[in-house]
Amino acid sequence: MIGRSASPGFAYGKILVLEDLLDSVSESKSTDVDKDISKLEEVTSEVVKALEEISSVSTLKEQREIFEAHTMLAADPSFKKEIIKFIQKEKYSLAFAVKSAGLKYMAQFEALEDDYFKERALDIKDITARFLSVILGRPFANLKDLTEEVILVAKDLTPSQTSQINKEFVKGFITELGGVTSHTAIIARTIQVPAIVGVRDLLSSLTNAQSIAMDGLSGSFHIDPSSEIISKWDSEIEREKELQLILNNYKEKPTITSDGVALKVFGNISSVEDAKAVRDAGAEGVGLLRTEFLFMETNSAPSEEKQFNFYKQIAEVMVDRPVTIRTLDIGGDKEVSYLNLEKEDNPFLGYRAIRICLDRVDLFKDQLRAILRASAFGHLKIMLPMIATCGEIRRAKEIIEECKLELSEKGIPFNERIPVGIMIEIPAAAIMADKLAEEVDFFSIGTNDLIQYTVAVDRMNDKIADLYSYFDPSVIRLIKMTIDGAKASGIEVGMCGSMASELALTELLVGLGLTSFSVTSGSVTSVRKNIIESSKAESEGLIPSILEQADREGILRLLSELPSH
């Protein structure tokens, strides 16, 4: 059987199936509305207190940040208001009202386009389950009490459950749902526990009496494995330990190819803790700072001051390393009530990202002024998402200049020469790269959307997922056009999409002329190692043959012939 890799590694052990608490609550009516509303206050206090305690004792920075966010969500008045609405209007019992409110919020996040924010639905599920455990008087699954080695199997794992994992006993986990960008997957990668997600009908065929062997990298696993498979897994586990020791040596090494070409490995982040993680992993800067969560975590747009403090914190964490801040990248399919975005038939192709910012100039200016002010404290860059035309760039630059003038008139310091670049994630932008390059200081290729738009495939649709490929010849050609366009104007071109972390493509991207790779903290050293071991000249020599290929199989065959493969 096979699923999606969420965290690499080999493991085997006895299966432990975890119950989904939400599934145990069915529709029921309230017998005393006022009493249920009063009890909600008590339940909220108990949940918030429990989350605060977990946060205070968490030793991992990533865990602390997640549970601080969970505490805020649990205490959020809007969540409580939604529960009360279900109790008063629908006459639901407290338990079913909590479940209904949780499911409503989860559905809103799951409808979002961006994978990172789509996976925040799990955080809502975690909080909902905590409320239900208190209401029903049933213990919240405590994985800390395990005394034997197991592989966790569940419909889904919440961040709270993942945070309890003790590597001494939990050797890995496999779920029916979840994604590679979820907090659960992030924690799994942080504590280096193998994880596989997205396995259909997993629970229907497994019991606690069985055992399982899993390969987190390939997403494959074997139920009741033979002694031969277990022996193979033991060898792979030892090999992984040796590899990690090797990768640790690449944290401080300069990113220079074997034939002397200097490149950069940056990190993708969304928070201050992410910034610390990529810095500690040896990243030479931040290639992508997502700012959407600032606009999605509250019921009103973040103030200029709030944004300034956040960007300033990031700049100070990274010290003198560059930080590329992507301006608001939000779409018509995202539930941000205060923006009053209309529902669209084709939100992927609609009113989103730079299109919103150029229309809602007040919103755009608040963010730009915050970034400009923070640029006095570090090496910041502005990156515009979803650019399709030169006109969009010119208008955005006009607004940036207006913000600079406003700050200058107030005597507020900022970097007057702050670099301005764009994301290349629309095929039209790749085709017009030579013209767009004349307008900006750098490019960053966003491969997640670029591939999706190029091959007309929803990357979250399992039925056609096989058409979504990093190795598609049309995608490689568009990347080549983008890099050539950047070269013509002498600007740098990096890549911040997940394709940058694909180790099988490192040499190809080096050969195409990419100047920087922006990846997750866990991929920094492995990508750097690949770059250092590659030859720019040898990789360049392969490009003409790569561009002649008609299918991905031909590209994979040529890549396998490189000396390092």
Residue 70 annotated as catalytic: no
Instruction: Return the structure tokens found at 23.
Output: 């599934």
DSSP 377: G
- What residues contact residue 531 under an 8 Å CB cut-off, 6+ apart? 255, 256, 257, 263, 265, 506, 510, 517
- What residues contact residue 385 under an 8 Å CB cut-off, 6+ apart? 326, 327, 329, 353, 354, 422, 423, 425, 446
Q: DSSP strand E in 394-470: where?
A: 420-424, 442-445
Instruction: Return the structure tokens found at 544.
Output: 């003409």
* Catalytic residue (one of 70, 379, 403, 496): 496
What is the Cα–Cα distance from 284 to 266, expressed in whole angstroms? Answer: 5
Instruction: Return the structure tokens found at 51.
Output: 């989350």
Do 517 and 509 touch, CB atoms closer than 8 A? yes
What is the Cα–Cα distance from 127 to 175, expressed in whole angstroms? Answer: 19
Helix 77-90, helix 94-110: angle, nearest 10: 120
**Nearest in space to 485 (alpha carbons), one of 537, 430, 544:** 430
Alpha helices, H only, 375-441 = 390-409, 427-431, 433-436
Do 352 and 314 touch, CB atoms closer than 8 A? no
Residue 390 annotated as catalytic: no
* Catalytic residue (one of 183, 357, 379, 403): 183
What is the Cα–Cα distance from 334 to 347, expressed in whole angstroms? Answer: 9
H helix or E strand, kind and range, residue 171? strand 170-175
Catalytic machinery residues: 183, 496
